Amino acid sequence: MRLVWTLCLALFSLSAADLTEQYRQTADRLIDAALADSEGYNRLAYLCYRIGPRLSGSPGLEKAIAWSVEQMKAAGLSNVRTIPAKVPHWERGRESATMVAPYEKPLHMLGLGMSIGTASGGITADVVTVNTFDDLAKLGREKIQGKIVLYNEEYRGYGPTRVYRSSGASRAAAYGAVAALVRSATPLAMQIPHTGEMNYDESQPKIPAAAVSPEDAMMMAWLTAGGVPVKVHLEMQARSLPDADSADVIGEIPGREHPEEVVVMGGHIDSWDVGQGAQDDGASIMACLQAVALMKKLGLQPRRTIRVAFWVNEENGGRGGAAYREFVGTQIKNQAAAIEMDGGAEAPRGFGASVDAASMELLQQIGKLLERVNAGEITAGGGGSDIGPLMRDGVPGLGERTVGTHYFDWHHTEADTLDKVNPEDFRKNVAALAVMGYVLADMPGRLVPGPGIGRRAQ
């Protein structure tokens, strides 16, 4: 079936009018509207300044969900609804870390999401420093038992570095550690700690885990490397409560010819409980909403349904993406494409796509329409965690990509605030999403997932 579908798409791309010329006028209308728009940024400002952090299980998230329903209806979208999801409910509580030897110094720290708290009165223990898990194994239980392990791995990209945040506590607990501190996963040293999700290995004792600023991590590592004993006092009131009721939010413009077929675009509505969730991921969901809202304002109705989705609980559970997949159910074959934006709203570069070679040619044609806003780069490999459940079942996935110059400076910190979102860059992202989303929903053919990406759903 995949071969037949690919051959049909290839014939279509050769015989039909080039998508660049076919959609040039419509794309220019969308780009013009996006670059002149202020409504989308104003919506983002309200989300950041009037609602604020939106951690799963929090009142802030539920307020944001109710407000988002109102915004989609105000934009004139159809079939606005929520998709129920049970989400984790973790609370940070009061927390602090202080180096008490060789001298007393408060540390810049944030507890890691889903960590347990300390016992009343906290933990005071010597610090042992490692860079890697290999270093941890070399020290062994004799040198780790009863101590706090500090992971001081230098930032080498988010993927390679975040493993110490996600599994470092359990790896340290296996050797008898009483707590874990992790150097924040960021290239920027500005005494800003970065939180994020961690996971426990149920076969190991659960110990508290927190991130510290790069400067504090480097200081303690330098001291211990020189043989200077370092002692830290850690207090955390973090706790996990029973799962809470929450929901995804969706709205759409029904297709004029094939309303049953859907192109979905979106990001995650939840955020960590620090900062305002401006870049991660408020700017993304507001840009996706505004992209569809502008189609509505311009009277554009594509062949297929274009849907905007605000997925819940991306940060510490992924329940929203799973709930959306369940909502789609047996109609997965009608999900024509999924676009996720979860990399902030700095200047856009283009899109990564997990599709076959013939589909890449079509996307390259669409990319030419975005050269006006320097967002025409189409590269292999794309998607995101929220659309992962769709992609695993054969839906072509795309990820909107930006220059990402400072995203990991602000990521999961107190500094993720509205002022970090440049209005001009935001509008360019709206333009890129509007053009890509509209053309995918309107073009005669459909994309095909690349080899090894899920399966072609029947």
Q: Which residues have a catalytic role annotated?
A: 314
Q: How far apart are CA 86 and CA 103, in angstroms?
A: 46
Q: How far apart are CA 251 and CA 310, in angstroms?
A: 9
Cβ neighbours around 280 below 10 Å, total? 27
* Bridge partners for 259 per DSSP: none
Give 324-328 contacts, CB < 8 A, sequence gap 24+.
Answer: 324/83, 324/248, 324/250, 324/386, 324/389, 324/390, 325/389, 325/390, 325/393, 327/83, 327/248, 328/390
Q: How far apart are CA 9 and CA 122, in angstroms?
A: 62
**With contact defined as beta carbons under 8 Å apart, do 98 and 107 qualify?**
yes
**Neighbouring residues of 9: CB distance < 8 A, sequence distance ≥ 6:** 356, 358, 359, 362, 445, 446, 447, 448
Q: How far apart are CA 31 and CA 376, in angstroms?
A: 13
Q: How far apart are CA 44 and CA 175, in angstroms?
A: 46
**With contact defined as beta carbons under 8 Å apart, do 152 and 183 qualify?**
yes
In 32-183, where do the E strands start and end?
78-91, 95-101, 105-106, 109-111, 123-130, 148-151, 179-183
**Neighbouring residues of 273: CB distance < 8 A, sequence distance ≥ 6:** 53, 55, 58, 92
Q: How far apart are CA 115 and CA 323, in angstroms?
A: 25
Whether residue 208 is preceded by a cis peptide bond, meaning omega within 30 degrees of 0, is no
Task: Name which of 293, 302, 284, 268 is nearest 388 in CA terms.
Answer: 268
Q: Sign of the C-alpha dihedral, residues 424, 385, 389, 81?
A: negative
**With contact defined as beta carbons under 8 Å apart, do 435 and 30 qualify?**
yes
Give the Å distances, CA to CA, from 384 to 307, 340, 354: 17, 6, 11
Cβ neighbours around 305 below 10 Å, total? 23
Q: Letter for the amino acid at 137?
A: A
| DSSP annotation string for 361-410 | HHHHHHHHTTGGGT--EEEE----TTTHHHHTTT--EEEEEE--SSHHHH
